[in-house]
Each structure stands twice: as C-alpha cells, then as structure tokens.
Amino acid sequence: MCGIVAYIGDQQAFPIVLKGLKRLEYRGYDSAGIAVINDRQLNNYKQKGKVAELETFTENKDVEGTIGIGHTRWATHGPPNDINAHPHVSGDGEIALIHNGIIENYDTLKEGLLSRGHEFKSETDTEVLIHLIEDIKKNEEVTTAEAVRLALSNVIGAYAIVVMDQSNPDQLIAARKSSPLVVGIGKKGDYYLASDATPIVEYTNEVVYLDDEEIAIVDRNKGLRLYNIQNQEKTPYIQELELQLEELEKGGYEHFMLKEIHEQPRSIKDCFRGRLNVDKGWVGLGGIKDYEQQLANANRIIMVACGTSWHAALVGEYLFEDLTRTPVEVEYASEFRYRNPIIEEGDIVIAISQSGETADTLAALELAKSKGAIILGICNVVGSSISRITHAGSYTHAGPEIGVASTKAFTAQVTVLTLMALTIARKKGTLNESKFRRLITEMELIPDKVSRILESSAYIEKLSKNYKGARNALYLGRGNSFPVALEGALKLKEISYIHAEGYPAAEMKHGPIALIDEEMPVFVIATKGPSYEKVVSNIQEVKARKGKVVAIVTEGDEQVKNMADHVIEIPDTDEHLTPLLTTIPLQLVSYYIAVMRECNVDQPRNLAKSVTVE
C-alpha cells in the first residue's frame, strides 16, 4: 500500500530510487514520482501510471543528484493522477515529502493552513503534511528536522515519510507510525530508505527497522541518528538481512505468481525444516516455545486476519479444534477491532499475516494486547510490525511474495498452523501416538505431492480454457475444504475479474443454486474423506441444473469422474492436510484464466500487496 524509497550518498540517486520503486511496485501502482536535489535545486517528476511510465517521462530530464526520494502510490485520498502523485512539495517548492499511510485529521489541519494563506494543488492528505512542515519551519524558525518532529506531533493517523529540503541537500529526514520503514546502511557510508528491505538488499544487508514514532535523520557528515517523537536520542539497533537478491527476481517464469505457485514444494519444506522430525516423532516451533503451556491451557484461541490469511485461519480452526479440542474463533481483523470484543483471561489471540503490516490486523492485535491477551503472530516478512509487537510467533519462511495474489504464503501459513496444532495437541494429550506419527509422516510427504500436482499444469491450463469466458463461478467444499473454496474464489476474482463465490457445499441449496445454469462453472472439492458422499450428492444437484462441474478429486476416483465435466486429481493424504494440496490446482486455474483474459496477473487493478491503511 504505497512504496517509498530514498537514497543519500555519493552515487547518483535517481537510478537507485527508480530501481527501488520497481521492486516496491507490488505495494501500489496508480502513479509514481521521484524528486532529486541537484546543486540546491529540487527537481520533482511524477506521473499517473506505472513506474515504467515515469521512467519514459524522465528520459531527457535533469535527474542529476546524489540525494533523492521516490514513491509508488495506491490511492487513498484523491484519484490516481499526476497532481495527486507523490512527492508533494511545500508552497515555496523547496521541501519535498513522500508518504505511505493516512493523515486522518488532514481536514482540520488543512483548515488552519488555508486560513494562514497556504494553497493546495492536490486532493491528498499528504500535501497537508508538507505544508504543515513548511508552516512550522517558517513561523517557529526551526530546522526542517525539528519542523518535521513538531508537525508529526499534530498528526493523527499512520505514516512512513521521508522529507528532503533543497536548502540542506546533505540530509534526509524519515519517520514512521504504523506504516513500515527500513534504513539500509550502505558499505560506502551511503544510506537507503524504503518501505521494506527489497530495494535495499542488493546494496547492503545491514538494516535498522524504525519503530513507531521514531524519527531518523540521515546526514552525509553525521551518519544516522535516531530520535523518538519527544526528541530523545536513541541507539539504532542494526540487524542483518537474510534476504537473497535472487528471491526477488522472476527466475525465468512469466509472472511472479506462477513462480510463487511453483515454489511451494520448497516453501512448505522450508516452513517445516527444523520443526519436524519424523524419525524422532517430534514437532516444535522455537518461536512459541515459551508459550506452549499457555496455548495448551487456553480456554479459547482467537485468530485474526484479513483476506487469504483469514482463509488460512479458517483452516487453522478445523485443525486446532479437531486436534487440540480448544475452541477457536476466527475473526476478520477489521470487524474485531471495532466491536468491543470479549477477551477473557486465558484467551490467546493469534494474528496471521503475510506482510505483517496489514493495518486492521495490527490494530486488532493492539486492542487484544491492551485487554491483557497473549498475542502471537504468524508472519512471513521478517522484522515486520506484527512480528515486533507480538509476545511471540512463528515465521512462515516462504520467502518474499511479490505477486499481489497470495499463493505460497497461504500454504506456508497452513503449514505453521498444522505444526502449532500438533505441538499443542501433544502437550495436551489430545492426540494419540499413532495418529500423531501418521500426521507428521504425511506432512513430510506434502512437498513431493505438491510437486506432482504441479506436473499436471499443462492439463490444468488446457481445461481452464473452457472457463475463461465465464462471468460467474461458484466454489464448493465441506469441512476444511470450505476455506479452500473461499480461497479459490478469491484468487479467481482478484486476478481475472470474474465474479466468484465460495460456499460450504451444503449451503448451495439455500440460495446460490438459483444461479446455476449451463454457463456457470462450479469448482467442487470432492476429495476422499468423511463428507465425500455428501459432496457427491451436491455435485449431482449441480449437474441436474446443467452446471459445469470441475472437481478436485483424490487420485483414482471413478465415481466423480463419471459425473463431472472435468476432474483434477490430487495425491491421497490425511484429511487434515488436504488443503495444502487442493489449493494448488485452484491457484493454477485462476492464474491460467487470468493470463488468457490478458489481465495483469501480478498487479491486479485496484489492489496492493500490503494493506497498511484501514
């Protein structure tokens, strides 16, 4: 949700910032802009559209300078156009600002600034902040850095910002509250600032993650200094990045999404590496070791998440309730945070988030923490805000997910939830030895089984052709296949713009069945398990209304094959683990249909990867 990049050092800033914006484009792609200072002259270029359009636009412009800031936008206030694009500049054109977040009290601030003669060009909340900084700097006769600090003390909302002033081209001023910001410390005494580490990793692996209400001043001569909003100096905590540059490239695939779908055998394995030992009959998650007993004693577990991560939480609910017999509630973080939820002693709240930055999930956790709950996190991005505010947690180790549609993060989240449920079940004694052994043995086989499903990609691509013109689609599943149906529908709608709905298969007759006709593809998860026969009956109900059925079945199934229009076979596994397999063909179907419809698979319209505003 908006990406910001900045550079100061002895190299040319523009190419570094431009490349950084390309890496961050998954966070928003409505418009882009870069400002550089050349010999105390601030040059600001911004354009509606993708970073590539900005690159073309700046081809013959003066982009010289060793200090620069850049932004790729996901619009919140004001439509995506050249004027609303960042960077925004002060009224005198001397100070420039990039911002990720939302200034909630911008209206009130704007009224005051208008009455003091400020004129605004854009409809953004961000422009209010740069005018406020300018106003304070002039009226209170303070440095730009001090004006930034004072301005931020008046701001309600979320921000990660970087500011530069042409009167002091030796300095970048950055700050964060609720939106992420990382400072990379370069090898030649240069500095890189960005929303996440992806634009930084090719220059340095030494980074400082800013905490809420921290202000960083990066100066060519004085280096990096860190302050809190009360102006007390703090010691920066330098961390080493484990990210590899190759992980950020497409690696020969046409899209990041396809690459990430194909990475799943590895990402699932990486997720359970060192956490599962079949020979010794052992499972453990180091990150939550100190909380195992509390988890075992919990009266209730509440899982909070959004989107795909919420679907993973629903799979988690089946796993936890069945294996550990602990009641689980799964909540949309955005609902949970605003409805005065009941949190009692002995409750544990687990947040699930790929990015670790989703604003609603963060706020839900903060609320739960303020009510005294133990809060745990399951995140993919190392060092993310959620991973830092939780008492403990487990990383999914899926590697960077760049495609906006989540794929490998989902299967990694389900893997961590499975390991967590198994750990607690062992501790509580709710799972007998033979079932435990069977589950961990099966878990270890999952990566190979995912590889086998991926081998049928060509077949899945071919069958997807039949449905590329669909206007609606229905996804049905029962038990732990119901969240998979929801996830399948979400994947199709978000990248191919076909309206799709996921339903518990038996609910179909309470409404959605009215939609079924010969035009309507119905994707049914009909693998072998306790509700197999019931799902077979649901397929018959669809066929009786001439619906087109694509069924995901267990290898060797003949019954459904004789009824469905198409079947996709998956290897047999324990019913607790089927979501890790049934999800894969649905990801591929969505991907191929979107490609055939010539949609922008990695950057679907109106979406952004990391939703840092509510």
Q: Is 77 exposed, middle or buried (0-12, 13-18, 19+ CB in 10 A)?
A: middle
Complex with ligand F6R: residue 26 or 106, whichever CB lies closer: 26
The yes or no reply on residue 20 touching ligand F6R (CB under 6 A) is no
The yes or no reply on residue 353 touching ligand F6R (CB under 6 A) is yes
Complex with ligand F6R: residue 18 or 304, whichever CB lies closer: 304
Complex with ligand F6R: residue 37 or 352, whichever CB lies closer: 352
| Site map 256..295 versus ligand F6R, x via CB under 6 A | ----------------------------------------
CB 145 within 8 A of CB 171: yes
**Other residues' Cβ atoms within 10 Å of the Cβ of residue 294:** 16
Least distance from C-beta 91 to ligand F6R, angstroms?
36
* Alpha carbon distance 153, 445 (integer Å): 54
Complex with ligand F6R: residue 317 or 494, whichever CB lies closer: 494
End-to-end CA distance of the chain: 11
Q: Which of 137, 259, 449, 609 is catalytic?
A: 609
* Alpha carbon distance 445, 433 (integer Å): 19
Whether the upstream peptide bond of residue 585 has omega within 30° of 0, thus cis, is no
Helix (H) or strand (E) holding 386: helix 385-389
**CA-CA-CA-CA dihedral for 39, 42, 46, 52, to nearest 10:** 20
Name the one residue in this structure whose structure tokens are 């949309």. Answer: 332
**Other residues' Cβ atoms within 10 Å of the Cβ of residue 457:** 17
Q: Could you say which of 109, 306, 313, 539 contacts ligand F6R (CB under 6 A)? A: 306
**CA nearest to 24, candidates 160, 122, 205, 124:** 160
| Site map 201..240 versus ligand F6R, x via CB under 6 A | ----------------------------------------
Q: What share of the chain is helix, strand, coil (3-state, %, to 5)?
A: 40, 25, 35
The 3-state secondary structure of 300-329 reads EEEEEECHHHHHHHHHHHHHHHHHHCCCEE
SS3 232: coil
Q: Could you say which of 58, 166, 354, 578 contacts ligand F6R (CB under 6 A)? A: 354
Whether the upstream peptide bond of residue 87 has omega within 30° of 0, thus cis, is yes
The yes or no reply on residue 309 touching ligand F6R (CB under 6 A) is yes
Complex with ligand F6R: residue 496 or 610, whichever CB lies closer: 610
Complex with ligand F6R: residue 204 or 361, whichever CB lies closer: 361
Stretch that binds ligand F6R, among 46-54, 204-212, 354-362, 447-455 (CB under 6 A): 354-362
* Alpha carbon distance 38, 64 (integer Å): 6
Complex with ligand F6R: residue 190 or 494, whichever CB lies closer: 494
The yes or no reply on residue 494 touching ligand F6R (CB under 6 A) is yes
The yes or no reply on residue 308 touching ligand F6R (CB under 6 A) is yes
Q: Which of 2, 271, 306, 379 is catalytic?
A: 2
Least distance from C-beta 498 to ligand F6R, angstroms?
15
Least distance from C-beta 610 to ligand F6R, angstroms?
6
Least distance from C-beta 310 to ligand F6R, angstroms?
7
* Alpha carbon distance 323, 327 (integer Å): 11
One DSSP character per residue, 135-189 reads: HHHHHHT--HHHHHHHHHHT--EEEEEEEEETTEEEEEEEEEEBS--EEEE-TTS
Amino acid occupying residue 284: G
CB 87 within 8 A of CB 71: yes
Least distance from C-beta 416 to ligand F6R, angstroms?
13
The yes or no reply on residue 179 touching ligand F6R (CB under 6 A) is no
| Site map 392..421 versus ligand F6R, x via CB under 6 A | -------------xx---------------
Least distance from C-beta 346 to ligand F6R, angstroms?
26
Structure tokens at 15: 């190419």
- Total chain residues near ligand F6R (CB under 6 A): 15
Site for ligand F6R in 46-75 (CB under 6 A): none
The yes-or-no answer on residue 50 being catalytic is no
Q: Could you say which of 3, 28, 307, 504 contacts ligand F6R (CB under 6 A)? A: 307
Q: Is 87 exposed, middle or buried (0-12, 13-18, 19+ CB in 10 A)?
A: buried
Q: Could you say which of 38, 47, 90, 355 contacts ligand F6R (CB under 6 A)? A: 355
The yes-or-no answer on residue 110 being catalytic is no
| Phi, psi angles (nearest 5°) of residue 500 | -140, 145
Stretch that binds ligand F6R, among 23-31, 353-361, 389-397, 452-460 (CB under 6 A): 353-361
Stretch that binds ligand F6R, among 15-23, 355-363, 442-450, 581-589 (CB under 6 A): 355-363
The yes or no reply on residue 387 touching ligand F6R (CB under 6 A) is no
Structure tokens at 508: 């179909």
Least distance from C-beta 406 to ligand F6R, angstroms?
3
**CA nearest to 428, candidates 249, 298, 526, 336:** 298
| Site map 440..479 versus ligand F6R, x via CB under 6 A | ----------------------------------------
Structure tokens at 117: 């003669």
Stretch that binds ligand F6R, among 37-45, 301-309, 530-538, 558-566 (CB under 6 A): 301-309
CB 365 within 8 A of CB 389: yes
* Alpha carbon distance 25, 76 (integer Å): 16
The yes or no reply on residue 612 touching ligand F6R (CB under 6 A) is no
Least distance from C-beta 516 to ligand F6R, angstroms?
26
Q: Which residues are catalytic?
A: 2, 609
- Which parts of this chain interact with ligand F6R (CB under 6 A)? 306-309, 353-355, 358, 361, 405-406, 490, 494, 610-611
